[in-house]
Amino acid sequence: MASPLYDARTFWEMLHRRAALSPDQPFLLDDGDRRVTFGEFRAWAERVAAGLHGLGVRESTVVTWQLPTRIETIVVSFALSRLGAVQNPILPIYREREVGFALRQLGAAVVAHPGTWRGFDYGAMVDRLIASGAGRGSGSGERAVPPIVLDCSEGLPEGDPATLPEPPGASTTPESAPIRWVYYTSGTTADPKGVQHTDETLIAGGVGLAMTMDTSPTDVGSIAFPYTHIGGPDYIVSSVTLGFPVVLLETFVAAAAVETFRRHGVTMAGGGTAFYLAYLNEQRKHPGTTLIPTLRFLSGGGAPKPPEVFWEVKDELRCRGAVHGYGMTECPMITQGSPSDTDEQLANSDGAPVNGCIVTIVTADGEEAAPGEVGEVRLAGPMVFKGYTDTALNVDAFDERGRFRTGDLGMLRPDGHISLTGRIKDVIIRKGENVSAKEIEDVLYTHPAVGDCAVIGLPDRERGERVCAVVETAPGAEPLTFTAMAQWCRQAGLMTQKIPEQLEVRETLPRNATLKILKYQLRHELEGRAWAPQS
């Protein structure tokens, strides 16, 4: 469906125009049955923008926020867009290591957190980090005073919108657009990487998604994943430009999600392969029924989708199937399947390049690959990020023609769709989130029982990939146990999702002539072996 808002240049312009077009249309709903229309949402966001302005937030002020998927979270984000602030959304699963790195690098003026949520005290963590000096930043982000800490469990600051300055205007060209978003992602280096986006790059990704999904205002979408993920604003752009409502889930529990989606008549659900499987598992508990009768399709990305999952979703959930896509923090939408694609395309590809995204497959010798030939996926287009906060990383990130090197391997099919075949980068994608093997290896290597180690990703139906640590026992030491490994990782500050699910202990690790560990041999050995959860 075409939209008159596809040409919006800023998030606030996009929302302002949607609220004028359909002020009474529902925008956000939640599992507590709260409902906010586009008009109500715009007014609320302006009041919060005035409250934040009263705290000193101005255009280009850096605000770090680590908040759950709530209506209030999206209000905060649009309020910051109204002011032209630089937003640094951080996944709630991140802990001291990741949050501290972001605060040190960006030097945020304001840090917003949810108080105690799901048993973890975010406020105490932020206080510890600020006390250690993390909030004062470093380099260009350095601040003379600690940041303001905003506990959003106590409500959002509000003020009189009449006190607000005019919204920041759009840039004259995409190249001159200011950085408005910084997302941190784990990669092949131990430290997180700050990925810089403008409003225009994120809008281009969301519009690319919207143009593939055959969606109308009568649809009801859903966000069951963290809104702080790059997919959050990506999906909301689709909602605002096309005018359909979105159901938000603060936490994902499959049975509860299904009940909420039934109640609200959700037509589009998903989030990635792990979500597809969760819905399938719920459906299998209730044979002979259709759990979500209004469901048109599941969609998502972030992790490989086995072809059989498409067919299982189609047959068992009685919908179009799993309409899968491909994106990353550096480019939120690359390819996307469409409900109008054939079954074969949806089962065996990752979709076609979205509007504006230029995908090139490059062979190892630097030549453009022929259809059906595997090579590295490289990207150009209006949705590609504007470089890393650490500019030294940009040298290897872009090729001589300015194309982003994804590190992913894939091929262009004769029908124009892309099929991914693997990755060059040593990154594990677990439930749609990138996990740096080196970061975990660096932690494990400090354990006295570890002589050397390798962390690899192994195919996993539920997670996409699971994290497997292969450890060489230090001379004279007792072999490392799974319990000791997990405790060591937690004590080092690793978030739970980065702690290996599998531990393999070896007397020696396979190495080549230069003593480099041969990870491919470990993967080959372990991929076909049966595995049961360890404890």
Instruction: Provide the residue-wise pLDDT of the chain in tens; the chain has 535 residues.
Output: 678 899 999 999 999 999 999 999 999 999 999 999 999 999 999 999 999 999 999 999 999 999 999 999 999 999 999 999 999 999 999 999 899 999 999 999 999 999 999 999 999 999 999 999 887 644 444 556 899 999 999 899 999 999 999 999 888 898 899 999 999 986 444 689 999 999 999 999 999 999 999 899 999 999 999 999 999 999 999 999 999 999 999 999 999 999 999 999 999 999 888 889 889 989 999 999 999 999 999 999 877 787 888 999 999 999 999 999 999 999 999 999 999 999 999 999 999 999 999 999 999 899 999 999 989 999 999 999 999 999 999 999 999 999 999 998 899 999 999 998 777 766 788 888 878 787 898 899 889 999 888 999 999 988 999 999 999 898 889 999 999 999 999 999 999 989 999 999 998 888 754 456 888 889 989 987 888 889 7
pLDDT at 4: 83
pLDDT at 190: 61
pLDDT at 136: 60
Structural domains of the chain ordered from first start: 12-25+38-157+180-197 (3.40.50.980), 252-423 (3.40.50.12780), 427-527 (3.30.300.30)
Give, in order, the Cα–Cα distances in Å from 292 to each of 283, 317, 346, 431.
9, 8, 21, 23
pLDDT at 185: 86
Pairing between β-strand 221-223 and β-strand 418-423 as defined by DSSP bridges: unpaired
Beta pairing partners, 235:
none
SS3 359: strand
pLDDT at 515: 57
Q: 160: which 2 tokens?
A: 């009189």
pLDDT at 452: 86
Cβ(10)–Cβ(201) below 8 Å: no
In whole angstroms, give the CA distance from residue 483 to residue 345.
Answer: 43
Q: Between vectors from CA 336 to CA 334 and to CA 339, what angle results, nearest 5°?
A: 165
Q: Contacts by 340-349 with C-beta closer than 8 Å and gap 24+? A: 340/214, 341/417, 343/310, 343/311, 343/314, 345/415, 345/417, 346/310, 346/320, 346/321, 346/322, 347/307, 347/308, 347/310, 347/311, 347/321, 348/307, 348/419, 349/413, 349/415, 349/417, 349/418, 349/419
Q: Which residue blocks in 178-250 are alpha helix, DSSP H?
A: 199-210, 231-242
Question: Positive or negative, the Cα torsion across 40, 43, 47, 50?
Answer: positive
pLDDT at 14: 98
Q: 168: which 2 tokens?
A: 């920041």
In whole angstroms, give the CA distance from residue 180 to residue 333.
Answer: 18
- State which amino acid sits at residue 66: Q
Residue 191 CB partners (closer than 8 Å, separation 6+): 101
The residue written with tokens 């498409």 in the block is 310
- State which amino acid sits at residue 379: L
Which of these, 67, 121, 111, 103, lies nearest to 85 by C-alpha position? 111
Cβ(91)–Cβ(66) below 8 Å: yes
Which of these, 380, 381, 375, 459, lies nearest to 418 by C-alpha position? 375
